[in-house]
Amino acid sequence: MSRYSRFREPSLEFREGSLRSLVGLVLISSSLTGCGEQALPPAIIAPTAPAKPDTIEANVLPRVKFLDITEAAGLHFVHHNGAQGEKLLPETMGSGVAFLDYDGDGDADLFLVNSDQWPGAAADSRSTQALYRNDGTGRFDDVTAQVGLNVRLYGMGVAVGDYDNDGDPDLYLTALGGGHLFRNDDAGSRFVDVTAATNAQAPADWLTSAAFFDLENDGDLDLFICGYINWSAKVDRSQNFQLTGTGQGRAYGPPTAFGGARCILLRNDGGKFSDVSAEAGIAIRTADLKVPMAKSLGVAPYDVDGDGLVDLAVANDTVPNFFFHNRGGGRFDEIGISAGIALDRDGTARAGMGIDWAQFKNDGSLGLAIGNFANEMTALYVTDERASLQFSDLANLYGLGAPTQPPLTFGLFFFDYDLDGRLDLLSTNGHLESDIAKVQATATYAQSAQLFWNTGRPGRSLFVAIGPEVAGPDLFRPIVGRGSAYADIDGDGDLDVVMTSNGGPARLFRNEGGSNQHWLRLTLNGKASNRDAIGAEVTVKADSLVQTRQLFTAKGYLSSVERPLTFGLGSRNHVDVLTVRWPSGKVLELKDLKADRVYLVDEDEGIR
C-alpha cells in the first residue's frame, strides 16, 4: 500500500484518485466538534478548462535573474534525515529555514533546521541546527557553536519572534517529539533553551510549522503550532507500504494511514506560556470518533476581515484545511468549509503544504495560496469582500491551475521579486518518494522550482510562469525542495531566496536585476504593540499605485521570512503617503518619502 497507488479496498484511492468516499464518511457531511454546524456554501467555481494566457511580449518580462551563490556565500549546510532504507515518514518531510537579524546589526542572518539520526544509528556531528551570520554583503559565517545552537533534535520547522519584548528575535523550533524555545540573550551572543522554564514545550508529538502572532493585541507574542499526525516508528514499521508493481520494497506511507493530531495555541502570559488550545477552539476533533482531526503542515496568520484581530489559515494534509476566525476574547471559530478554503471544487480534501496570504491584485481583494501534492494544483482562494469571509478557488482563472498541477509543492510564498509593485509567487517543489518515476513516468523526485510573475493583467494572464530562459537556470535546477524564505541579504533593496532540500544541501540565490526598479523598505518597532510589530498593516501610496501588506514572518512551509517589509515602486521615485495601522490600534501616517531607502519607524516616535 502506498500514497501513489490505490487502496486494496474498492472505491478508495490515495491522492491521484478522489478520496471522496473517505471525506464523505468522515468530514464533509458532518459538523466538526468544537466549531458548530457548518453548511456547505453555494459553490462558486472557477473555470477549470486549461487555457493559454495571452502572449506576453519578451520586452516586458522582468530583467531579473537568480544566481546560485551558495558556495560563494559560505553556506555549507546539508540536511540530514537519518534515512537508512526503512522509509520512516518523518525522513522525507523536513526541513525549514528562517531569515532573521539575530545580532541586531541590520543584516539578514540565516537559520537552518536539521533533523537527526534515528536511535541506534551512529551519531553524526553534522546533524545539528545551523546559524549563519551575514557580514552585510551576503557572505555568511557559521556561528552555530559560538551561540549555543549546535543542538541535536529531529527538527522540522522554525518560527521567529521576540516573545519577551527585549528587542532581539528568539527561535521556536518544531520537531518530532515536541517544541523547543531558544531565547536570544545579549543581542545574539548566546541562545538559551528556555522551553521548560517558559512552559513552551508543547506535546511530545510531531510538530511542523509554527507562527508567532498577538492573539489579543495585548503587546506580547503568542504562538500557534501545527500538529501533523499521530506517528510512531513502531506503527510505521508495522505497515507494508509499497510502490505498487516495482518490486522495490517499502515506500513512504501516507498520512491517511495514521491518526490525526491537534494544533496547539500557547498564550504568552508575561514571558511564560499557557496551553489554551481547547478553550480557544482550535483543538478540532472529528465529529464521529471524537479524535484529533488536524494533519497540519502550514499556518498563515492574517487579519482577514479587518477587525483588528488576527485570524489563522491552516494547510492540512488529506483532511480539510482550517480557517480559524478570531472573534475576540481569545476564542476562534473554525469556519474553513463555510468560508470556502477547506476543500477543492469537488468537495475533496487535498494535501496542503505551504501557505501564504497576499493582496496580490492591489485592489483590496485578498488571496490565500496553498501548495498541494502532485497532481493537485496549487489553490488560490480569493475574496473581493474581505468582511464576507467567503472565498473561491480562482487558481485556474488567474493562470496558476495547469502549471502547478504536476509538481509536489512544499514551500510557497508571495514576494515582489522584480520590484514592480505587484506580488509574485515562488513555489519550491520536490517529491516524497525517490522511486516515484517507477510508478509515474512523468514524475521525478527532484523537481524544479516555479516562479510566477504577476503581470497585473486580468484573467489567465495575471500570473505567468517565468523559466530559465528569462530568470537564468540556477533557480530551476531540480532539488528535493521543502522549505523556503526570502530576505535582502546584500542591502541592494531586492529580495534574495533560500531553499532547503530534503537530505541535501540548502541553496542560496541572489536576485540580480530587481534593484533596477525603485523600492522602499520598512522596519517597524512597536511600543504599545508587540516589539516586532507583528500584525501591523502598512499601506503605501505612490501615484496611482496602492499596496497593502500585513507584517507576519511565518510563511510557506516550516519557514520564516525576514521582518522588514519591501515595497516595489517600479519607476516611481517617491511615496506620497505611508500609513501604518499598529496592532495596538494606533494609526501613523507619513508623507513624501524618498524611494530606495530603508526606514525605521517607531510606534511612538515615527521615523528614526
Radius of gyration of the chain (CA): 22
Could you tell me the three cell numbers for 246?
Answer: 516495482
What is the SS3 assignment for 338? Answer: helix
Per-residue confidence (pLDDT) for residue 58, from 0 to 100: 62
Grid cell 509538481 is found at 407
| Separation CA 129–CA 135 (nearest Å) | 20
pLDDT tens by residue, 542-558: 999 999 999 999 999 99
- Distance, first Cα to last Cα, the chain: 61
Provide the pLDDT for residue 190: 97
Torsion of CA 585, 586, 590, 594, to 10 degrees: -60
Are 137 and 540 within 8 A, CB to CB?
Answer: no
Interacting residues of 24 by C-beta distance below 8 A, sequence separation 6+:
none
**How many CB atoms are located within 10 Å of the residue 210 CB?**
28
Q: How far is it between the farthest Cα atoms of the chain?
A: 68
> The C-alpha cell of 602 is what?
517607531
Which parts of the chain have pLDDT scores under 50?
1-2, 5-53
Q: What is the pLDDT of residues 102-157, one digit of tens each?
A: 999 999 999 999 999 998 777 676 789 999 999 999 999 999 999 999 999 999 99
**Which residues face 236 on adjacent strands?**
none
What is the pTM for the complete model shown? Answer: 0.91
- The answer to whether 182 touches 197, Cβ cutoff 8 Å, is no
C-alpha cell belonging to residue 457: 493583467
What does the pLDDT read at residue 69?
99
Positive/negative CA dihedral, 115, 551, 197, 106: positive
State CA 313 to chain mean position distance.
11
From the number of C-beta atoms within 10 Å of its C-beta (0-12, 13-18, 19+), residue 514 rates as buried
| pLDDT given at position 125 | 67
Residues 6 or more apart from 526 whose CB is under 8 A from it? 219, 532, 533, 536, 582, 583, 584, 603
